[in-house]
Amino acid sequence: MVDDNAGFRESLLALLEAGDLDVVGEARSGPEALELVPVVDPDVVLMDVRMPDMDGIQTTRRLKQLHPSLGIVALSGHEDQDIVREMLVAGASGYVLKDSDGDEILSAVLHAALGGGVLSPEVTPRVIGELTEALERERRRTRELEEAQAALVERAARRHELVARLSHELRTPVTVILGMAQTLAKADDSFPQRQELLDRIVERSEALTRLVERFELTIDAGMAEKVDVAALAQEVASPYPRVRVVAKGGPFAATLSPVVGRRILGELVANALEFSPPDAAVTVQVARGQGGTEVRVTDAGPGIEADDRERIFGFLEQVEDLNVRVHQGLGFGLSLARGAARSMGGDVVLESSGPEGSTFRWTIAIEE
């Protein structure tokens, strides 16, 4: 028994002996209990909560650290919910009020000796209610962690897919350059297509350099920070007088890689300028949507046929045939923009297209 009240210890001793329980020691304080327990080796300690110097909560915590299998029953004159919780967290097996009837105290001791626990009826409903709330909070937290883990796995899979596709596409221009170089190596100086092949090698090499630069954005996709999307749009649009940015109802803060964000917007703006008449304006609109922040890039091009609206996102694909297309370019900007957006949990889609132009929408996912 651990209690600083000698009169209560005497009454409790009589109760325990009447219940055929052996009392192997008495302590008047927490430090005294810490010294006594290893000497007398009890099965159960009846612990007063409120004591000077070291209270029952501290003493219980120390005893459970030193003797994990020891049963401890808290005895208190208080029903305070916080005290009950702290004693249980410290390691107490049960919590019984001092004015409980004798059978309840004896039952708590026997349950503690067998590894169980008893709470006084006066505190049980409140403790159960609080434990239920805590359990529900943990369940919600577990669900949130599971959802966050699933999102991370999905993003990693998308990033891996993008890197794999880019690695595959790197082989195409390399093969073309190698083939032309081998042809030149076998030909003499009078070969009629010599200069044409040299020009094509230079062109393909420059294209390959740009592809490698774009490849690097996949590495940066995980370097996320808070970004002002409207300011990012203004930055990308600033070199082009024809590009107008509209952003009303901000601020538009989002968590993303600024390097990748610039590249996505840069690809969309470059695509819009490329397929619009030279004197036509391109609009970049930043707005809030249900799925997060939305950026729309609208051009004044001729529109895209329905059958081609998904194909344009494929690598090395534009609507024109690769060898005769009117607009020069690598043809994988839209594919990289979509892949980079998806690697950060968002997406790039063709929202609408017609004779007066097309609108591409970049959705930036809301960070949970």
User: What CATH number does the domain containing 171 carry?
Assistant: 1.10.287.130
Per-residue pLDDT reduced to its tens digit, 222-248: 567 889 999 999 999 999 999 999 998
DSSP 8-state code for residue 313: G
Whether 302 is in a domain gets the answer yes
Please tell me whether residues 48 and 156 are part of one structural domain.
no
Please tell me whether residues 304 and 361 are part of one structural domain.
yes
Please tell me whether residues 193 and 332 are part of one structural domain.
no
Structure tokens at 241: 């007088």
Please tell me whether residues 106 and 240 are part of one structural domain.
no
Per-residue pLDDT reduced to its tens digit, 149-194: 776 777 677 667 666 666 666 666 677 777 777 777 777 767 777 7
Whether 130 is in a domain gets the answer no
Please tell me whether residues 237 and 159 are part of one structural domain.
no
In this predicted structure, the answer to whether residue 132 has a pLDDT above a threshold of 60 is: yes
Whether 353 is in a domain gets the answer yes
Range of the domain at 65: 6-122
User: What CATH number does the domain containing 278 carry?
Assistant: 3.30.565.10
Average pLDDT of the segment spanning 266-278: 92
Please tell me whether residues 244 and 360 are part of one structural domain.
yes
Residue 362 CA, distance from chain mean position: 21
CB atoms within 10 A of CB 125: 10
Please tell me whether residues 266 and 366 are part of one structural domain.
yes
Q: How many domains does the chain have?
A: 3
Residue 235 CA, distance from chain mean position: 28
The residue out of 71, 90, 122 marking a domain boundary is 122
Average pLDDT of the segment spanning 250-254: 84
Beta strands in the chain (DSSP E): 44-48, 71-76, 94-97, 225-228, 243-247, 253-256, 282-289, 292-298, 347-354, 357-365
Average pLDDT of the segment spanning 271-283: 93
Whether 51 is in a domain gets the answer yes
Whether 139 is in a domain gets the answer no
Per-residue pLDDT reduced to its tens digit, 15-52: 998 989 999 999 999 999 999 999 999 999 999 998 88
User: What CATH number does the domain containing 43 carry?
Assistant: 3.40.50.2300
Whether 134 is in a domain gets the answer no
Q: What angle do CA 335, 336, 340 make, to 5 degrees?
A: 120
Please tell me whether residues 332 and 285 are part of one structural domain.
yes
pTM over 0.75: no
